[in-house]
Amino acid sequence: MDILYLVLSYPYFAVAELQEKKEGFFMRCPFCNDEDTKVVDSRPADEQNAIRRRRECNVCGKRFTTYERLETFPMMVVKKDDTREPYSREKAEKGILLACHKRPVSAEQISGLLDELENYLFNLGDKEIPVTRIGEFIMTKLQDLDAVAYVRFASVYREFKDVDTFASEITKLLKKQ
């Protein structure tokens, strides 16, 4: 089983490498690249979906944080034109962030939405997911979070062509409220 580590270190993001030694795995320090690091603190993160580890380099003394997540099977997204591409959390996040720009939706809410999306997709158990499932799920969740973000996302996802389509979608939204 592969373990994915993302290392966040102030003032920039750095990726520390997980290496294999004879005795097991070790984490390289992103500052001095030495392999002599130790875990100072571990705790659950992202609603029990990851483990947050605070680490310290025994050589340079700097601290950094890693997040450990189980790497699941690669999911392929089947796009509208029937092409396939690997699922990307970053791509889904980018679309949601654009829809929520200057709206009262917190980073935690967006992260929670993405976690819910990934749990939903994982529980489907399919290796190939139609993009429509992803888009509809996101729209349903955005509708509960913020109506303006919902309409923004829907306008791009459903490819609104004119003002009448916007008006129709807003009318549907107002009837639900």
Q: Dump pLDDT digits (tens) for 143-154.
A: 999 989 988 888
Q: Model pTM greater than 0.75?
A: no
Q: Are 64 and 93 contained in the same domain?
A: no
User: Among candidates 51, 57, 59, 67, which has minimal Cα distance to 15?
Assistant: 67
Range of the structural domain that residue 27 is part of: 3-70
State the pLDDT at residue 14. Answer: 38
One domain for residues 20 and 54: yes
Question: Could you tell me if 54 and 81 lie in one domain?
Answer: no
Give the residue, 16 or 66, on which the prediction is more confident: 66
What is the per-residue pLDDT for 23?
A: 52
C-alpha to C-alpha distance for 95 and 66, rounded to whole angstroms: 26
- Asked if residue 162 has pLDDT above 80, the reply is no
pLDDT band at 49 (very low <50, low <70, confident <90, very high): confident
pLDDT on residue 25:
62
63 in the same domain as 129: no
Same domain, 116 and 150: yes
The rounded Cα 123 to chain-centroid distance in angstroms is: 16
- Domain end marker among 25, 54, 70: 70
pLDDT-derived band of residue 22, with 50, 70 and 90 as boundaries?
Answer: very low
Whether residue 85 sits in one domain with residue 63: no
Specify the pLDDT at position 27: 82
How crowded is the C-beta side of 117, counted as CA atoms within 13 Å?
A: 28
